[in-house]
Structure 1
């Protein structure tokens, strides 16, 4: 039985974590299926909407499996490699979050480009209470998303971020009762934009350091496209 549901539309993929009885806890099967989905999106780039079925996004990693993991499993970066792969998908990714996004579930949400949440959403990384650390991207993603001070409150102090705090710190775009409708509205807006412009923008924004030369090269590529000419012509003619 699959732990992830996938729907492919003409302009987006919709991926739903589908273990609601386990609060969509991330287990080995889900990791494998998400890798397969990433491979599909890499071959046929489209924006991604990621959500969880039921009352929660993902309550964390499967503790039964996590308890059995060894040093070699940690060095293999099982969850981290997946979340890094999701972060590197060519086109924008949107996480629609309700309920718990804790531990590995929070790190999966952090790996997406934009997050939208319901009032019930809770983000947190309680890993140190289980004798481990948040090692699947939180240490380098969360500080860049919400600032190092608040990130330390979460990663060291065990602070959970409710929806209001997540909005205040910039972790999420908006709070809404219908997070899926809001996510689709955002993806509708993205779908009207240039896919290549979105792809190059995401690549450059994610690249470390200052890189003005890369901006120039990417813009040079876009300036030479027929898509740019047609879009600007349409804009001018409408005006």
Structure 2
């Protein structure tokens, strides 16, 4: 794996840690390349993803401003960060971001690209791009409204105001908040453990259905259900459920 990430492989999940502490985990071209490698692995062998900056008080301080300052219009059109984040969003199995400390700019957008977010009380989210003369171009303009509503998203994008963990939980930006950094990764793993109790195929098709555009429904739901109705895993799980009810 390229510099900037630490990767731990488990049977049903990949644990990926941003690892540029000297740069506050700023997202540069090398880190983007490493994220593409992670995506390629999870596309080839679908598993769940736990993405974190660790528990040292920083998730990702944003894009690498020194690199960003030198980028021109052709770099913007190349969708350097947004393409990687869109690929994370489209991964076959659910993804969880575990956030300790600031997740700002591109760092926040990386967290938004995950399906679920768990954070510590010292987590902070923010989109300061307009103050740097650019816009939040790696997903926040469409993912943030979907998460917190259009009016609140516009306020955050227009002002660059930071959101603390309590507000993030209240407005639906995160799913869970833990008091101590020591609880962060165990809580994220517990969330993945809960999802892992379900059928992997049902989980994958449920994610596909939830992320599909409205026009795809109900046809996508019907086809997905038809596939699952013929799956041996469905028969096994339902038989076990009925046997438990009968006391067998």
Instruction: Provide the TM-score with structure 2 as the length reference.
Output: 0.95
Q: CA deviation at 1:160?
A: 1.1
3-state DSSP class of the match of 1:101? strand
Aligned twin of 2:219: 213
Aligned positions of 1:120-139 closer than 5 A: 120-139=122-141
Aligned twin of 1:41: 42
**Tell me, which stretches of 5 or more residues in structure 1 are unaligned?**
none
**Tell me, which stretches of 5 or more residues in structure 2 are unaligned?**
none
Q: Partners of 1:174 and 1:34 in 2: how far apart?
A: 24
Q: Partners of 1:57 and 1:181 in 2: how far apart?
A: 16
- The Cα RMSD (Å) is 0.9
Aligned positions of 1:181-192 closer than 5 A: 181-192=186-197
Residue correspondences, number: 239
Aligned twin of 2:115: 113
Aligned twin of 1:60: 62
Q: CA deviation at 1:159?
A: 1.5
Aligned twin of 1:226: 232
1:20–1:55 Cα contact (<8 Å) kept: no
Deviations 1:22-50 (A, max 9, x none): 11110111000110111011000000000
Q: Partners of 1:158 and 1:186 in 2: how far apart?
A: 30
Q: CA deviation at 1:190?
A: 1.2
Q: Partners of 1:134 and 1:81 in 2: how far apart?
A: 14
Structure 1 segments of 4+ aligned residues over 2 angstroms from their partners: none
Instruction: Provide the TM-score with structure 1 as the length reference.
Output: 0.98
